[in-house]
Amino acid sequence: MLAAKPLCRISRWRSFFPLTFVPLVSSLEVPLVSDELLSIGVDKLQKSCIGAFMGRANEMDTGNLWFEGRSRCSFKSRNDENTSEAFPWRRQIKSVSLGHFSNQPPGVFGTLSDAVYVPDRHYSSQYNDNCIRDVKNKFLRTIPGSVKIVEVGPRDGLQNEKEIVPTAVKVELIKMLVSSGLPVVEATSFVSPKWVPQLADAKDVIEAIRSVEGTRFPVLTPNLKGFEAAVAAGAKEVAIFAAASESFSRSNINCSIEDSLSRYHDVALAARKLSIPVRGYISCVVGCPVEGAVPPSKVAYVAKELFDMGCSEISLGDTIGVGTPGAVIPMLEAVIDVVPVEKLAVHFHDTYGQALSNILVSLQMGISTVDSSVSGLGGCPYAKGASGNVATEDVIYMLNGLGIQTNVDLGKLMLAGDFICKHLGRSSGSKTAIALSRIKTHASKL
């Protein structure tokens, strides 16, 4: 069964060879060009690609994948394990059997949670140093086995778009995101259309998706009035925003941090009465455009306040994307001191290209919820034209490569990204999406 499916996909696999192969390294000989590569043969393709993706199961004695402590005899069992413990709102887990691998193109390393390499026994004599293995395990041992992605594209991604995106397009985007397996999709925001005209159709969006099952749809509510409007429209989960920087709080929502927290107390109280979960966001957790570096202790203070008032999750946002692991780690340390790590999420911006490394260290610290935006939608309002949210596709690629379960189908996610980028008339902000689409484009020319 395992071998049969790939055989049916030969044409797709053949399509992975580039049309013209420019030598990466210099040579005085004539490098082979792509049609000669093609003639290497389907046999070798099968052997190499199947082997790469199935963890060479036949060669393994135990059937366990390589990472210490991560016993993973089948993906199905892992999914079941995680479902009930960590995610009370979990959608029905899609079965990720080994047969599923064959749907993915070869040479694509992060398309599934697959990249756990199994030592090639032929060379195993060179690979027995246990001390080094321990060193390496240390860096991945604390990483969670599964991570929940909170997709913020439809709200945080679209809200700053100049051209109004039609409601139907927003709804279609949300549906495509849901179908890729994302467990949480931030649908819209109930703010005055005066300030965020893009999301003036919040009610219509919520009404259009209220029957969509299996995914949570939190919406932003800036105060009690917005909360009530959201609930009336059918929202079942809300989110509130505070800042760790006093200046930013005043400049952005025209009140102090303390005043904003009082306001949110009211929302949290009202939400508790209706058993509606509340997610708390903290902006400027690393740096503020006005104040510069933000003290971790300040972030911890605001996080604790949000947690104490009843937020089910606190998302820590590096609003201007200036953080690096050197600044993120002290901040997380301070917050984890006062809020349990399983209640925390990270929301990094990729303005300086640092988001994935920041996410990586957050995972090493035990964080298991990551916010991201399909195609990297959403720029940085502070540095116009610079990038903003981290691209969900790139995050999934990395998590897959780390062997972390996300329940997200990268192929379907990319379709959602394609869809919205086509509508917006620009290329994706995700490098993974661009790389994979270029490979496919080449393929179509063969």
Partner 1 sequence: MSSLEEPLGLDKLPSLSTIDLLGRFSSSACRPRGEDTGMGNCWIDGRSCSSSNSCHEDVEQNSREAFTWRRKTRDMSPGDMSSRRTSSLGRNHIIYGSVCDSRYMPDNQYSSYCNDKGIRDMTDKFFKGIPKYVKIVEVGPRDGLQNEKNIVPTDVKVELIHRLVSSGLSVVEATSFVSPKWVPQLADAKDVMEAVRDVEGARLPVLTPNLKGFEVAVAAGAKEVAIFASASESFSKSNINCSIEESLTRYRAVAHAARKLSIPVRGYVSCAVGCPVEGAIPPSKVAYVAKELYDMGCFEISLGDTIGVGTPGTVLPMLEAVMAVVPAEKLAVHFHDTYGQSLPNILVSLQMGISTVDSSVAGLGGCPYAKGASGNVPTEDVVYMLNGLGVKTNVDLGKLLLAGEFISKHLGRPSGSKTAIALSRVTADSSKI
Q: Which residues are catalytic?
A: 380
Angular region, 284: left φ>0, alpha ψ -120 to 50, beta rest: left
Q: CB-wise, 110 or 277, nearer to partner 1?
A: 110
Instruction: Name the 3-class secondary structure at 231.
Output: helix
Binding to partner 1, residues 82-121 (CB under 8 A)? 106-110, 115-117, 119-120
Binding to partner 1, residues 157-176 (CB under 8 A)? 159
Q: CB-wise, 17 or 75, nearer to partner 1?
A: 17
Binding to partner 1, residues 140-159 (CB under 8 A)? 140, 142, 159
Q: CB-wise, 222 or 280, nearer to partner 1?
A: 222
As a whole number of angstroms, the distance between CA 206 and CA 236 comes to 10
As a whole number of angstroms, the distance between CA 61 and CA 53 comes to 17
- Tokens read off for 357: 């490394």
Q: Please answer whether residues 440 and 15 qualify as being in contact, where contact means their C-beta atoms are separated by less than 8 angstroms.
A: yes
- Tokens read off for 298: 């300040």
Where do the H-state alpha helices sit in 101-200?
130-140, 167-179
Angular region, 294: left φ>0, alpha ψ -120 to 50, beta rest: beta
Q: Is 207 in the site for partner 1 (CB under 8 A)?
A: no
- Tokens read off for 67: 């990472």
Q: Is 414 in the site for partner 1 (CB under 8 A)?
A: no
Binding to partner 1, residues 270-309 (CB under 8 A)? 283, 286-287, 289-293, 295-298, 300-301
Q: Please answer whether residues 312 and 184 qualify as being in contact, where contact means their C-beta atoms are separated by less than 8 angstroms.
A: no
Instruction: Name the 3-class secondary structure at 230.
Output: helix
Closest CA to 65 of 6, 112, 132, 12: 112
**Among the candidate windows 87-95, 146-154, 161-169, 322-330, which touches partner 1 by CB under 8 A?**
322-330
Q: Please answer whether residues 427 and 434 qualify as being in contact, where contact means their C-beta atoms are separated by less than 8 angstroms.
A: yes
Cβ of residue 84: shortest distance to partner 1, in angstroms? 26
Q: Is 419 in the site for partner 1 (CB under 8 A)?
A: no
In this structure, which amino acid lies at residue 438? Answer: R
- Non-local CB neighbours of 88 within 8 Å, separated by 6+ positions: none
Q: Which of 15, 17, 75, 348 lies at the binding interface for partner 1 (CB under 8 A)?
A: 17
Q: Which of 1, 29, 69, 162 lies at the binding interface for partner 1 (CB under 8 A)?
A: 29
Cβ of residue 211: shortest distance to partner 1, in angstroms? 25
As a whole number of angstroms, the distance between CA 142 and CA 344 comes to 15
Q: CB-wise, 25 or 84, nearer to partner 1?
A: 25
Q: Is 44 in the site for partner 1 (CB under 8 A)?
A: yes
Mask for 121-140, x = binds partner 1 (CB under 8 A): -xxx-xx-x--xx-xx-xxx
Binding to partner 1, residues 53-82 (CB under 8 A)? 53, 66
Q: Which of 210, 330, 418, 419 lies at the binding interface for partner 1 (CB under 8 A)?
A: 330
Strands 292-293 and 287-288: antiparallel
Cβ of residue 88: shortest distance to partner 1, in angstroms? 26
Q: Which of 59, 68, 308, 337 lies at the binding interface for partner 1 (CB under 8 A)?
A: 337
Q: Which of 150, 184, 316, 402 lies at the binding interface for partner 1 (CB under 8 A)?
A: 402
As a whole number of angstroms, the distance between CA 429 and CA 94 comes to 27
**Among the candidate windows 91-99, 176-184, 272-280, 359-367, which touches partner 1 by CB under 8 A?**
359-367
Cβ of residue 165: shortest distance to partner 1, in angstroms? 16
Q: Under rule CB under 8 A, how many of the chain's residues touch partner 1? A: 139
Binding to partner 1, residues 224-253 (CB under 8 A)? 225-226, 241, 243, 247, 251-253
Binding to partner 1, residues 249-268 (CB under 8 A)? 251-255
- Non-local CB neighbours of 365 within 8 Å, separated by 6+ positions: 142, 329, 332, 333, 336, 341
Q: CB-wise, 8 or 28, nearer to partner 1?
A: 28
Q: Which helix (H) or strand (E) holds 292?
A: strand 292-293
Q: Which of 187, 327, 374, 414 lies at the binding interface for partner 1 (CB under 8 A)?
A: 327
- Tokens read off for 109: 């390393």
